[in-house]
Amino acid sequence: MTETRRLYYEDVYKKEFTATVVECREQKKGYAIILDESAFYPEGGGQPSDVGTLGDAKVTEVHEKDGELLHYTDKALEVGAKVEGKIDWVHRFDLMQQHSGEHMVSGIIHEKYGYDNVGFHMGSDVITIDFSGMLDEAQMAEIEAKANQIIWENQEVEIFYPSEEELKELEYRSKKELSGWVRIVRFPGADTCACCGTHVTRTGEIGMVKLLSVVKFREGVRMEMISGRRVLDYLNMVNEQNRQISVKLSAKMDKTAQAVERLQEENFRLKGQVGQLVDDM
């Protein structure tokens, strides 16, 4: 087994690095490259892998299998060669914002209601989280407000590795019993959780979280949320949709709901008149 030095744990902001190709394994589709060191984060814990390039080869996925860090590429790389690795930083930072925002929301819910995060998926559009208890829209608004207040306080995110004795005394979220080498990520005032993912170093870098929806799911609820740049993209989309509606209805943008209500009432009235005409024929 080849052990790769994990540069993303030493510096989560490292976007470029130089490494030596240790192995190049031909696959059904492309190649699996093993390096002596890497800043590419592998898929795991609900977080997608990094993507980017190794030299002129595209890195499409990164996975950890049997302790080895496998970089899946579209081209072969020569064993022993030095290669320049480049992380797709826009992709990585987006995932850091989403994962950090999810931690804060999950931690606040766990602290306030005692619910566990029993399912987590980081999609390309939204994050879905399954909780073991019920939440309503009013509670969602309170959680969102508290999370954003802590974000705007711009507190430092703590990452540390407690000893086994310290771990026994530490209160933290985890989906299973842990021992030995455990990485703890703490968002002051929001969450302390065992996690191997990539996170921002200050809460302010998350920017903002937005809780989009909550529906009953199994014995609890499924929540959809977004963080960071995705919130801005979402607000721009909603604003543009509302602008188009306001133009079509000749209404101010803060009066579109009332304009739609008037249109519905007018439509109902006209349907009634048409129905009456038909009856009179």
> Helix/strand/coil (H, E, C) string of 80-120?
CCEEEEEECHHHHHHHHHHHHHHHHHHHHHHHHHCCCEEEE
Instruction: Summarize the confidence of residues 79-84 as an average pLDDT.
Output: 97
pLDDT of residue 206: 98
- pLDDT digit string (tens) for 220-258? 999 999 999 999 999 999 999 999 999 988 889 888 889
Alpha-carbon distance of 110 to 84, in angstroms, equals 42
Alpha-carbon distance of 69 to 57, in angstroms, equals 17
Amino acid in the structure at residue 139 = Q
Alpha-carbon distance of 96 to 41, in angstroms, equals 11
- pLDDT digit string (tens) for 127-147? 999 999 999 999 999 999 999
Percent of the chain surpassing pLDDT 90: 75
Which run of H or E residues covers position 141?
helix 137-152
**pLDDT higher than 80, residue 277:** no
User: In terms of DSSP bridges, do strands 184-187 and 191-194 run parallel, antiparallel, or are they unpaired?
Assistant: antiparallel
Of 49-53, 66-70, 88-92, 277-281, the poorest mean pLDDT is in: 277-281
**pLDDT higher than 70, residue 281:** no
Which run of H or E residues covers position 186?
strand 184-187
Instruction: Summarize the confidence of residues 38-63 as an average pLDDT.
Output: 95
pTM, rounded to two decimals = 0.90
The count of other CB atoms within 10 Å of the CB of residue 192 is: 20
CA 274 from centre of chain? 51
- pLDDT digit string (tens) for 160-195? 999 988 888 899 998 777 767 899 999 999 999 999
Percent of the chain surpassing pLDDT 70: 99
Which residue would you say has higher pLDDT here, 16 or 2? 16
Q: Are 54 and 73 in contact (CB under 8 A)?
A: yes
